[in-house]
Amino acid sequence: MKVESNLKRVLDAGHFSVTAECGPPRGADPDVVRKKAAYVKDNVDACNVTDNQTSVVRMSSLAGCLLIKELGIDPLIQMVVRDRNRIALQSDLLGASALGVRNLLCLSGDHQKFGDDPQAKNVFDIDSMQLIHLAKTMRDEGVFPSGDKLQGAPDFYIGCAVNPFADPFEIRVPRLKLKMEAGADFVQTQCIYNMEKFKTYMEGAKQQGLHEKIKILAGVTPLKSAGMAKFMRRMVAGMDIPDEVVNRIADEPKEKQAAKGIEMCIEQIQELKEMEGIAGIHVMAIEWEEKLNEIIGGAGLLPRPVID
């Protein structure tokens, strides 16, 4: 029987979906993944497994996907074009599909300069836009880009990422449209803190009817402390955290900042839930997976729908 993406089924059934992410460990210990997955399970419709994020070497995304799949979570494989040429990308797409991974997120990948191997050679044979196109061609046409027929087409619910806050702002919506046209079924956004700017972005997307053609999952990250907010604002490229957000958490005494961060995240999810064109949320609780249940439950999004 054909296995389908759980995330796709939930979205197709018209539910507000929830995804989260799970960063694989800096080592071969599978229990690290299993422990994180236990916090994720039953709180999400699918879970991203990151691909050497910030160019720091970690257990492979595919291995992480299989580990969480064993525990009954619908895995979402992140794939960056930084480390693999089109030969390796195609091969990994086939392998991931064969092993039952049904969700894919196509990314460029942070430059290797940020990781622990800044002297590595980067690949960028095709870019993330073209990876979307590649996956769609293989899935829908059953052929390699070379034109040769596949012995079994890979089956993916194809996703992309956008950063509504990066520059230049005016091409952010055209870029989403381009990704949609390349073949993306859904999009997960960079963490949103600047809701006003995000609304402007969504207005632009809605004007072009993009929200009806691509499922938009709004990204959120709960802040653990005012220090984390300031650090992210300073260190992460394209991270837009307005002063009022930082001040709101900074005004709390240190020991209450984490609780405040969760409260703010829940409020934000509730606001996003009411926005037209938002099909779901993507909760990136960075090294804070144990709070997923509290956040997602707090936002009134539990239990997750089960679709047969």
Give yes or no for a contact between 232 and 190, defined as CB atoms under 8 angstroms apart. Answer: no
**For residues 175 and 234, what is the distance between their CA atoms, to the nearest angstrom?**
25
Task: State the minimum distance, in angstroms, from the CB of residue 109 to other proteins.
Answer: 8
Q: Is 50 in the site for other proteins (CB under 8 A)?
A: no
Token duo for residue 61: 């995304």
Task: State the minimum distance, in angstroms, from the CB of residue 137 to other proteins.
Answer: 11
Among 27, 100, 174, 300, binds other proteins (CB under 8 A): 174
Q: Is 35 in the site for other proteins (CB under 8 A)?
A: no
What are 106's strand-pairing partners?
79, 160
Which residue, 43 or 55, has its beta carbon nearer to other proteins? 55
Helical residues (DSSP H) of the chain, grouped into ranges: 6-12, 30-40, 61-70, 86-98, 128-136, 172-182, 195-207, 210-213, 226-235, 243-250, 257-274, 292-298
Among 12, 155, 181, 294, binds other proteins (CB under 8 A): 181
Q: Is 167 in the site for other proteins (CB under 8 A)?
A: yes
| Cis amide leading into 174 (omega within 30) | no
Task: State the minimum distance, in angstroms, from the CB of residue 126 to other proteins.
Answer: 5
Residue 157: which of 129, 178, 187, 192 has the closest Cα?
187
Q: Is 113 in the site for other proteins (CB under 8 A)?
A: yes
Alpha-carbon separation of residue 82 from 85, 260, 308 (angstroms): 8, 37, 37
Stretch that binds other proteins, among 30-38, 70-78, 127-135, 289-297 (CB under 8 A): 127-135
Number of residues that bind other proteins (CB under 8 A): 34
Q: Is 209 in the site for other proteins (CB under 8 A)?
A: no
Q: Is 242 in the site for other proteins (CB under 8 A)?
A: no
Residue 191: which of 244, 242, 116 has the closest Cα?
242
Token duo for residue 293: 């249940």
Among 4, 41, 130, 144, binds other proteins (CB under 8 A): 130
What are 117's strand-pairing partners?
none
Give yes or no for a contact between 157 and 119, defined as CB atoms under 8 angstroms apart. Answer: no
Which residue, 181 or 294, has its beta carbon nearer to other proteins? 181
Stretch that binds other proteins, among 12-20, 66-74, 130-138, 299-307 (CB under 8 A): 130-138
Token duo for residue 294: 């509290």
Which residue, 39 or 114, has its beta carbon nearer to other proteins? 114
Among 15, 34, 35, 111, binds other proteins (CB under 8 A): 111
Which residue, 86 or 304, has its beta carbon nearer to other proteins? 86
Segment 192-195 long-range contacts (CB within 8 Å, at least 24 positions apart)? 192/164, 192/165, 192/218, 192/219, 192/220, 192/268, 192/272, 193/239, 193/240, 193/241, 193/242, 193/245, 194/165, 194/240, 194/241, 194/242, 194/245, 195/268, 195/271
Token duo for residue 159: 């996703």
Task: State the minimum distance, in angstroms, from the CB of residue 218 to other proteins.
Answer: 15
Which residue, 75 or 115, has its beta carbon nearer to other proteins? 115
Q: Is 263 in the site for other proteins (CB under 8 A)?
A: no
Q: Is 133 in the site for other proteins (CB under 8 A)?
A: yes
Stretch that binds other proteins, among 110-118, 197-205, 262-270, 287-295 (CB under 8 A): 110-118
For binding to other proteins (CB under 8 A), which residues are involved? 82, 86, 108, 110-111, 113-114, 122, 124-130, 133-134, 145, 161-163, 166-168, 171, 174-175, 177-178, 181-182, 190, 237-238
